Amino acid sequence: MGRHGAQPDPPTRTRLKIVRDPYPAGPTLVKPRRVGDTASAPLAPVRGCEGPPAGNLSSAKDAPGLRSVIDSIAARIAFTARQLPGTDDLRRQEPHMFAVIPRKFLPSSRSPCWYEEFTGHNTSDPYLTNSYALYSKRFRATFDVLRKAFWGHLAHAAGRHYRLRCLPRFYIIGQPKCGTTDL
C-alpha cells in the first residue's frame, strides 16, 4: 500500500533484454507518396531490410531456418501421451454423473440406455418444470402432444411404471474452441 493506505505502490520496473531478431525482415517494397499525391511512384526497397520477408519460412531456401524454429520450440515443450483416467478417478471427479447414470445398460441397444422407474401418477405433468414450454406457442403445442402420449410410452411391469432413458452414442473429445461452431 502507498501512503495513508489509499493508493497501491507503483509496480517495480523490470528490465527487458533486447535480443536481435534471428529472422530479420527481408526487402520490403513500398510506394513513397505524399498526402494527395495521385501519381503512382515506382517501388523502392526500404533500407536495412535484407533477406527474405519476416515469417516467410515456407520457401525451400528457408528450410534450415524453419528446422531451427521447430527445434527451438520442441526443445521447450515436453509432449506427453494422453492417458485415459481410471473409473475410480472419474467417480471422484464426477460424483453426480455416476449417481444418476446406472452402471449397467441394456444389452440390445447401441446407445447406453436403461429403464428408470417413474414414480408419478398418470395425472402428473412430467414437463411441468421444463422452461422451453414458456418460450413460444409452438413449444407449448409440442409439449401438449408429448404430455398426452407420455403415459402410453411408459413400460409397465409388476404394477410399476418405467421410462426408457438413453445417453447419446457419440462423445465429443478435445478442447472447446471459443467463438467457433466446428464441433
Distance CA 177, CA 183 (A): 8
Tell me which of 41 and 128 has the higher pLDDT. Answer: 128
In a domain, 127, yes or no: yes
The predicted pLDDT at position 162 comes to 92
Residue in the block written with cell 445398460: 105
Tell me which of 113 and 54 has the higher pLDDT. Answer: 113
In a domain, 117, yes or no: yes
Give residue 162's domain range: 102-166
In a domain, 20, yes or no: no
Cβ atoms of residues 104 and 114 within 8 Å: yes
The predicted pLDDT at position 172 comes to 63
Which phi and psi (to 5°) does residue 148 adopt? -70, -35
In a domain, 171, yes or no: no
Cβ atoms of residues 147 and 122 within 8 Å: no
In a domain, 107, yes or no: yes
The predicted pLDDT at position 60 comes to 64
Check whether 77 has a pLDDT greater than 70: yes
Distance CA 156, CA 4 (A): 75
The predicted pLDDT at position 46 comes to 47
Name every residue whose Cβ is closer than 8 Å to that of residue 90 and which is 6 or more positions away in sequence. 98
Nearest alpha-carbon partner for 105 in 176, 168, 41: 168
The pLDDT tens digits for 87-110 are 888 888 888 878 877 878 888 888
In a domain, 57, yes or no: no
Residue in the block written with cell 414450454: 133
The pLDDT tens digits for 9-36 are 555 555 545 555 555 555 544 444 555 5
Distance CA 4, CA 140 (A): 62
Domain count, the chain: 1
Distance CA 48, CA 141 (A): 73
The pLDDT tens digits for 132-173 are 777 778 888 888 888 888 888 899 899 899 999 888 877 666
The predicted pLDDT at position 53 comes to 52
Helix ranges (H only) for 77-129 are: 87-93, 95-100
The predicted pLDDT at position 108 comes to 85
Tell me which of 68 and 174 has the higher pLDDT. Answer: 68
Cβ atoms of residues 183 and 134 within 8 Å: no
In a domain, 172, yes or no: no
In a domain, 106, yes or no: yes
Cα dist from 75 to 33, 65, 80, 123, whole Å: 46, 15, 14, 67
Q: In whole angstroms, what separates CA 93 from the centre of its chain?
A: 20
